[in-house]
Amino acid sequence: MSHLSILPTVLRDETLLASALEELQLPVVRGGCLRGFADEREPVVLQTQLAGGPWIGWRRQPDGSLALVGDLQRLGRAHSPQQLIGRITRCYATLLALRSAAQPWGDARVEASVQVSV
């Protein structure tokens, strides 16, 4: 029997997270609820469906951070949760760094492509 788990993260910017998911070629759905065992539902601000069918999402925490929500038992059957979360976090961090690097340069442009496989 599995259920939805909620894992705190350091992620805060849902737009940047959506961009990271898109870079990883994962579909982005804004809002909605994730469903767990026995019709358990957890509202999320962002969610994606992984290859093999499991869904994961992120909900806003009171401190402004985004917590990962997902059925880790089901997710673990098709993916390594640690590797998947690591890929998403690295892509998010790369995009955040690029955005930060572009800010102080005024008219200069920074362009890069992130190549990460899921």
Domain containing residue 74: CATH number: 3.30.310
What pTM, to 2 d.p., does this model score? 0.81
Domain span at residue 59 reads 5-105
Whether residue 118 lies inside any domain: the answer is no
pLDDT, tens only, 52-109 = 778 999 999 999 999 999 888 887 777 778 888 899 999 999 999 988 877 766 666 6
Domain count, the chain: 1
Whether residue 116 lies inside any domain: the answer is no
Whether residue 29 lies inside any domain: the answer is yes
Whether residue 111 lies inside any domain: the answer is no
Asked if 100 and 110 touch (Cβ cutoff 8 Å), the reply is no
Whether residue 57 lies inside any domain: the answer is yes
Whether residue 15 lies inside any domain: the answer is yes
Whether residue 38 lies inside any domain: the answer is yes
pLDDT, tens only, 9-68 = 999 999 999 999 999 999 999 999 998 877 889 999 999 998 877 899 999 999 999 999
Ramachandran region of residue 31, left (φ > 0), alpha (ψ -120 to 50) or beta?
Answer: left
Whether residue 112 lies inside any domain: the answer is no
